[in-house]
Amino acid sequence: MALDPTAEADPGVTLGGITGIVRLDASGLPTATVPVTFYRRTGGTWECAGQVRTNSAGRYVTGLPAGDYRIQFGPALRLSSEFHADVTSSALAATVTVSPVPAAYRTVDASLTTASTISGTVRGASGQPVAGVEVRALESDASTGEWRTVRLGSTDAFPESAVAVARTGADGSYVVGGLEGGRAYRLKFGARTDEALPFVACGTRYWSADGLAQGIDQADDIVVGPDVSGKDATVSLGCNLVGSAVDPDGKRVGGVRVDLWEHRSGNTWVVARSTYTQESGDFSFEEAFSAGDYRLEFSDEFRGLYAPRWYASAATAADAATITIAASETAAVTVELRAADASFAQIAGANRYETAVSAAREGFLPQGADTVIVSTGANWPDALGGSALAGAYDGPMLLVGRDELPPSVSACIGDLGATRAIIVGGIGAVEPDVEAALAAQLGDANVSRIAGANRYETANLVAAATIARLGAAYDGTAFVATGGNFPDALGASPLAASASWPLYLTSSTNGIDDATLAQMQASGVSTVLVLGGTGAVPSSTEASLVAVFGDANVNRLAGSNRYETAAIIAQYGVDRCFGLGWNNVAFATGTNFPDALAGGVLQGMSGSVLLLTGANSLDPSVATVLDANRDTIAEVRFLGGTGAVSNTVRTLIYAHLH
């Protein structure tokens, strides 16, 4: 915004003014075309009120409304910037008050010091000058170490005129001015996206002594004292490289980092560009680059599912293939990735209570949890539905003795920062003394209990509490499992925790009662997943569910045994539950319940599933699942010690994954 010193004031506004002469500090001679910028106090801030330039005699003059002002002189090409009076920051500038008296001008002169410059010429590959190239001087930020465009003076009001930027002329020459002597700078060459320069395909480049660098980290410093000249650059038509990443079965792999290494002088290799493969497995680089020799490195840095790889399918940089790309060429490659060796983690403690604590710490520290679900570690019926409730409250499940709150559990509650505990089960499962101990730690009002007259009523109440917690977020899916045994419901616990799908229990002899069916309907259940075969949940029970919810909305997940059933449930979770996958799959014994009760919540909340295993053998259905998904498994968890999942079974799992 330029100010006109002859302009008339708006009606009711009286103009005073400011005038002065800007001179060179060294010679005292007046200097022309220096920008002079005025900032007016508005409330607690200083806002730009306009800008004028000095005339051939070095004088500026402008009319201004009454008020307080700060004045910035410069920057100009060969002159530094300063604020009145002789300071470099607007925060330190002296304030000039303009009086509401017509034609009353304050006089504010300035003397500016000479600034340093960097100059050079930009040419094309055949030596012809290239006009219109943008050249920016960069300086290192003292606090972050990042390189940023040099700001000439501390104002954001005129960003284009207040940064060290030049453009090459018809002869390809440029001069970047306003720089401080004795400091180190770097040069960036580029073009705005709205310009069709002949070299624009090569993207942003940086000055270096041995030719333009493609990254700021490979650029060379330019230390200015007096003016620095001869910082020339040669630009050329760019090239690009596109490709795909696939696994050994030919499936496309997304989310993999791709680093483009450039061969530089002295037989050194530096990263020139980086990108990631898309969901389709394809990749390309946003900015083109110069012709030359390149290598490609692939790394699955976030998931760790695939081992680092170099094109073409080399394990090390020394064995990588060199890709030579000519100017204006786009090369295309495909690389086959190999699965990384799976690692193994044990989630275990000295007993079932401490194993549950280990699972809670693994899944919820350091972020913590506001609410914990508490159940007896001595039996399984009440706790089966607790997984969905834990998912709804985004908290872990902890196990207690019938009449004891283990010290390790109390300590875990404290470390999680929990402020609330919900006990699942009646006083026969978790006695009042345990409830009192929790109340002493958290406060009476922060400990509640969900309990029915039997396991079926308790399951219904836990389901109702889960759905109430979800509110409108509940999607209508629920599990139905036998109340006579635990394996099938345990296999579904990660799904229940992840999606907060409630669990209803049914009798294998008496079927599902009318009260449970009525509650399911009233709670908004619309899709039912029956867990286990007809020996666990009879066909008559499935028929009752179909009669209420419809055949298309009742689906049975069952195998020939508990191990195959758990594998089928896990696959359903991976296919249907957003965020669940095979990586970090956990193994728990299929012959006992405690480890999987708490471990299932850990699995669901960390995005994975649960498989069951026998004491000393791996069921063929589980082996098949491992073989089919080994390329997506970077880590395996064992819930419980070797007494639960034996070394024999662990060795078999290792063999299938390698």
CATH 2.60.40.180 maps onto the chain at 15-112, 244-336
User: What are residue 593's phi and psi, to 5 degrees?
Assistant: -110, -30
Interatomic CA distance for residues 33 and 557, integer angstroms: 82
Question: CA nearest 385: which of 447, 474, 455?
Answer: 455
pLDDT of the residue at 102: 66
Q: Report the run of H or E that residue 614 belongs to, with start and end.
A: none
- pLDDT, mean over the chain: 88
Burial track 436-461 (b if 16+ CB lie within 10 A, e otherwise)? ebbeeebeeeebebbbeeebbbbbbb
- pLDDT band, residue 152 (cuts 50/70/90): low
Instruction: Tell me the mean pLDDT in the region 198-211.
Output: 70
Instruction: Tell me the mean pLDDT in the region 201-230.
Output: 83
The fold for domain 244-336 equals: Immunoglobulin-like (2.60.40)
pLDDT of the residue at 2: 44
- Top-level CATH class of 116-234? mainly beta
Residue ranges of E strands in 168-232: 173-179, 184-190, 205-206, 222-223
Angle between helices 620-629 and 647-657 (to 10 degrees): 40
pLDDT value at 14 more than 70: no
Interatomic CA distance for residues 376 and 401, integer angstroms: 6
Question: CA nearest 347: which of 657, 624, 618, 635?
Answer: 635
> What is the pTM (predicted TM-score) of this model?
0.59
DSSP label of 357: H
CATH 2.60.40.10 maps onto the chain at 116-234
And the tokens for 3? 């100010």
Interatomic CA distance for residues 199 and 97, integer angstroms: 51
- How many CB atoms within 10 Å of residue 295? 19
pLDDT tens-place string over residues 563-593? 999 999 999 999 988 789 998 999 999 998 8
pLDDT value at 441 more than 50: yes
Write the CA distances from 440 to 66, 292, 446, integer angstroms.
Answer: 68, 71, 10
On the CB side of 389, CA atoms within 13 Å amount to 31
pLDDT tens-place string over residues 159-199? 344 577 888 888 989 988 878 888 899 999 876 444 544 44
Interatomic CA distance for residues 409 and 399, integer angstroms: 8
pLDDT tens-place string over residues 272-292? 889 999 989 999 987 777 788
Which amino acid does the sequence have at 578? Answer: F
On the CB side of 1, CA atoms within 13 Å amount to 10
- How many CB atoms within 10 Å of residue 68? 13
The answer to whether 360 and 598 are in contact (CB under 8 A) is yes
pLDDT tens-place string over residues 507-541? 988 999 999 999 999 999 999 999 999 999 999 99
Interatomic CA distance for residues 250 and 115, integer angstroms: 60
Domain 15-112 has CATH 3.40.50.1820: no
Question: Is the alpha carbon torsion for 364, 366, 367, 372 positive or negative?
Answer: positive
| Helix intervals (H) in 377-442 | 381-384, 386-393, 407-416, 432-442
The answer to whether 181 and 223 are in contact (CB under 8 A) is no
pLDDT value at 155 more than 70: no
- pLDDT band, residue 295 (cuts 50/70/90): very high
The answer to whether 60 and 108 are in contact (CB under 8 A) is no
SS3 399: strand
- pLDDT band, residue 237 (cuts 50/70/90): low
Question: CA nearest 481: which of 467, 453, 462, 498?
Answer: 462
The answer to whether 240 and 327 are in contact (CB under 8 A) is no
Question: Read out DSSP for 431-495?
Answer: -HHHHHHHHHHH-GGGEEEE--SSHHHHHHHHHHHHHHHHGGG--SEEEEEESS-SHHHHHTHHH
- List the 240-246 sheet strands across, edge first: 282-283, 240-246, 330-336
Distant-in-sequence, close-in-space partners of 256: CB < 8 Å, separation ≥ 6: 245, 276, 277, 283, 298, 299, 300, 306, 337
DSSP label of 634: S
